[in-house]
Structure 1
Amino acid sequence: MTPERLKELIRIPVRPRGAPTILSRESETHEDHVAERLVFDFGEGPVRGLLTRPAARLGPFPAVLYCHAHGNRYAIGASELLAGRPSLISPYGPLLAREGLVAMSVDMPTFGERSHESEGALAKALLWQGKSLFAMMLADLLSAFDHLASRDDVDAGRIAAFGLSMGATQTYFLAAIEPRIARAAHLCCYADLASLIETGAHDLHGIYMTVPGLLAETSTGRIAGMVAPRPQLICTGDHDPLTPPAAVEAAYAETLTAYREMDAADALIRLSQPETGHEETPEMRRAVLEFLNAMT
């Protein structure tokens, strides 16, 4: 599987690459960080983006493309970067700015300021048209990445992707198809999909993840393996119904094989939490910060 074939399989819409048009921009300076609100034109209507950056230090800085979660909380969207969510210890945006990193998140379709349309309605309409909601999401994230890479205050060679839950899935898919992503860290949504189908656990995922024909050609473990030899951090909880241990092991075996084939096994980091469900733990937070700070 090549990045080009994976993009074809998902049917990611072809858009002109390069920095997207910014329709508006507002900045708010805090003691230890600056927050920006941006409105982008990705070609299919306005999209809100929220960005945090260090307040006092000079760039260019390493950056994080922050993929927000789902959690059936459609109103949150990109606000997760600044306000957090129940499954996170605290918001990442101001924290990463204090660590010397720029971070940006954009509203996914049906989330945040785009929640006027329901996930189910949009996903069904797109599937009937031979498209997918997941492809639309990844296309938006690729456009967001292009904005980060174009900024004067960002080092385009040091941009990571990170996310929890839905954002985790987007993170390793995105890193698989975008070789400029320097490293990928994800929490609470890494498991072999075929194994989940066997137990019925796949139905816990949102319909946004439905990509026709995906499992006929590849798997979670092999897609995450396409990130090799770049560093990747995988965090899961054994009591998370989305990441049951057997399904995680099946995926990890394939990902590890890919890293070993690239002589990069040391770049693959795994943290399993035996008593944890679908939420970030202090150990995960420490691992993520150490992993991302390796870019600074």
Structure 2
Amino acid sequence: MQVSERPAYTFYLAACALVLCAIAARADEPRAVPLADASQAERLLYRQATLREALREMLGIPTKLCELAPESRGEFERDGIVVEKWIFTAEPGSRVPCNLYRPKHRTGRMPVIVFTYGHGASKSAWNYNYAAQVYARLGLACLAIDPIGEEERNLTGRMGSRAHDPQPVHERAERAGRLMMGKLVFDTMRAIDFLRTREDIDQERIGVAGYSLGGAKASWMAALEPRLKLAIVCGWAYHDVTLNTKFCTRVPNQRMRRLCEWPEFPCCRPRTARC
């Protein structure tokens, strides 16, 4: 394993690692929000909770969870970084291969970042491999999972297949009761379930980071996942311009806009999360 000499497309992850370290180094305290009275605060909290639940239902996020049944597929060490290979069950019939990068020598529990990928990317993409090594050298763990339709989750085993892009795939997913974005987000939530089974992970300092489609997934995670402390949303926009993008982002955003305005979307996340 060698650190890539091509830092293009990954500078944002390396730079944001410093942000994550700074934020993760101290406990997050909820900020006081000035409100006119207690009833206004109650209305705000009620709106936040009901909107979050409506968005989860719209995406088709399952409410019942199966056993993770994680299996180790070995590990290797190079240049002070350990890469563990794992596979876990997101839901019946859906197994998720992943790599966990961590520093070889560290005392105490580690903060962790979970990658959310852009179109065609997966756990073995060179730029994400590079970024994962950067995080590990900074003392963080980093979890890289294969999105559905990519790499080990594709019958061909190919990288960059974009198998979840075609419109017929989205139409079949919706007929089955879930948008494709819902599946991508749910698998990431299950990755957090996996991380929380580990004794070496600080469960109070879990974040996500993504670019492009990965930025869209990170924004949904920030809105819906109460266990996150940080989300790095890059190459994405909280704007109606995203209503005319690819099918996987266009449809959920169009339906989200029927439920709320853009300023409300990030505000439905738990108050301790940071974007």
User: What TM-score comes out, normalization by structure 1 length?
Assistant: 0.66
- Residue 124 (1) aligns with residue 171 (2): yes
Given candidates 185, 191, 197, the residue that maps to 2:238 is 191
Match of 1:54 in 2: 103
Q: 1:140 and 1:118 mapped to 2: Cα distance?
A: 14
- Residue 146 (1) aligns with residue 193 (2): yes
Identity %: 21
SS in 1 for 2:96: strand
Match of 1:159 in 2: 206
Q: 2:242 and 2:220 mapped to 1: Cα distance?
A: 18
Deviations 1:50-99 (A, max 9, x none): 110011112311111111221xx3xx41223xx216xxxx8210100011
- Residue 174 (1) aligns with residue 221 (2): yes
RMSD: 2.3
Shift of 1:206: 4.3
Q: Residues 176 and 191 of structure 1: is their aligned pair in 2 closer, same or farther, counting only changes over 3 Å?
A: closer
Shift of 1:181: 0.5
- Residue 102 (1) aligns with residue 141 (2): yes
Given candidates 98, 111, 123, the residue that maps to 1:78 is 123
Given candidates 264, 268, 273, the residue that maps to 1:222 is 264
Deviations 1:10-36 (A, max 9, x none): 22122327x721133311111221111
Deviations 1:160-207 (A, max 9, x none): 1111111111112112111110111111112313x444xxxx23x343
| Paired positions, count | 216
Letter in structure 2 aligned against 1:77: S
Match of 1:207 in 2: 248
Q: 1:61 and 1:46 mapped to 2: Cα distance?
A: 25
SS in 2 for 1:77: coil
Q: 2:250 and 2:77 mapped to 1: Cα distance?
A: 37
Letter in structure 2 aligned against 1:232: R
* Long gaps (5+) in structure 2: 1-47, 156-162
Deviations 1:247-276 (A, max 9, x none): xxxxxxxxxxxxxxxxxxxxxxxxxxxxxx
Q: Residues 223 and 115 of structure 1: is their aligned pair in 2 closer, same or farther, counting only changes over 3 Å?
A: farther
Q: 1:196 and 1:31 mapped to 2: Cα distance?
A: 41
Shift of 1:231: 5.2
Asked whether the equivalents of residues 34 and 52 of structure 1 are also in contact (C-alpha less than 8 Å), the reply is yes
Asked whether the equivalents of residues 80 and 105 of structure 2 are also in contact (C-alpha less than 8 Å), the reply is yes
Asked whether the equivalents of residues 150 and 156 of structure 1 are also in contact (C-alpha less than 8 Å), the reply is no
Higher relative contact order (Cα pairs below 8 Å, separated by 6+ residues): 2
Q: 1:155 and 1:186 mapped to 2: Cα distance?
A: 22
- Residue 112 (1) aligns with residue 112 (2): no
Q: 2:250 and 2:107 mapped to 1: Cα distance?
A: 39
